[in-house]
Amino acid sequence: MSGSTPREQNAPFGVATSIESVDDSVDPPTRDDVFEALSNRRRRYALHHLKRIDGDEPVELSEISRQVAAWELGTDPRELSYDDRKNVHTSLYQFHAPKMDELGLVQYDQRGGTVELTEYGREIDVYLETVSEEQIPWSVYFFLLSAGMIVLVGAAWADLFPFSTIPDIAWAEVVASLFLLSSAAFVYHSRYSMRVGNDGPPPEVEE
């Protein structure tokens, strides 16, 4: 593989699979296969692009390379230099596209220079949660929310002032409302921001 690959960004991810038997003669990708494919940022970006434009026709590798390079550099695809495009195209052509083909996620026609999602690649849902230094993961948020609610409910149950001035039913409504709103925000964020193949850029790319 020619050219240097940009340094990887830490991106914890979860994989949810929903795969029906589309071909009994072909083994579907295992969870390890999916994690191996997603361990590289360029493969994550390529898979994201393929899933978001999923159609009936194979996608030109040059198109994928152009979009992946643009996401890596945080620029418009039309502003890329020849060297920027060539670096990404070479690595996808020689290594990443064949690797995803080997793992069963895409069909790669090296001679024709095209890539197409397999049925398994289409069926696999992947979610990435990226967290900056100013943010906290959803798992930590829900832990802190639960801990805070336990403290509030405990204080109200012990009739501590000023918590004792609020009826128990009101506290129950507050707790339920906070968890409902938080869960709704999490579902929305997961569906439209964390999912590989959403309409926007990859989850780990800052707009």
pLDDT, tens digit (0-9, with 9 covering 90-100), for 171-205: 889 899 999 999 988 887 776 666 677 778 887 77
Q: Considering only residues 9 and 94, tell me which one the structure prediction assigns the higher pLDDT.
A: 94
Q: Which residues contact 164 (CB under 8 A, 6 or more apart)?
A: 156
Residue 23 lies in a domain: yes
Among residues 98, 95, 111, 115, which one has the least CA distance to residue 2? 95
Q: Assess whether 17 and 72 both reside in one domain.
A: yes
Residue 87 lies in a domain: yes
Residue 1 lies in a domain: no
Predicted TM-score (pTM) of the model is: 0.66
Q: Assess whether 158 and 96 both reside in one domain.
A: no
Q: Assess whether 38 and 121 both reside in one domain.
A: yes
Provide the domain count of the chain.
Answer: 2
Q: Assess whether 75 and 106 both reside in one domain.
A: yes
Q: Assess whether 78 and 172 both reside in one domain.
A: no
Among 78, 110, 129, give the residue marking a domain's end: 129
The pLDDT of residue 199 is 76
Q: Assess whether 101 and 166 both reside in one domain.
A: no
Residue 207 lies in a domain: no
Task: Give the Cα-Cα-Cα angle 121, 123, 128 (nearest 5 degrees).
Answer: 80
The pLDDT of residue 137 is 80
The pLDDT of residue 12 is 46
Peptide bond into 162 cis (omega under 30): yes
Q: Assess whether 94 and 18 both reside in one domain.
A: yes
The pLDDT of residue 11 is 44
Residue 7 lies in a domain: no
pLDDT, tens digit (0-9, with 9 covering 90-100), for 122-168: 887 776 665 556 668 888 889 999 999 999 888 888 888 888 888 88
Amino acid identity, residue 66?
R
Range of the domain at 114: 13-129
pLDDT, tens digit (0-9, with 9 covering 90-100), for 27-81: 777 888 888 888 899 999 999 999 988 777 899 999 999 999 999 999 999 999 9
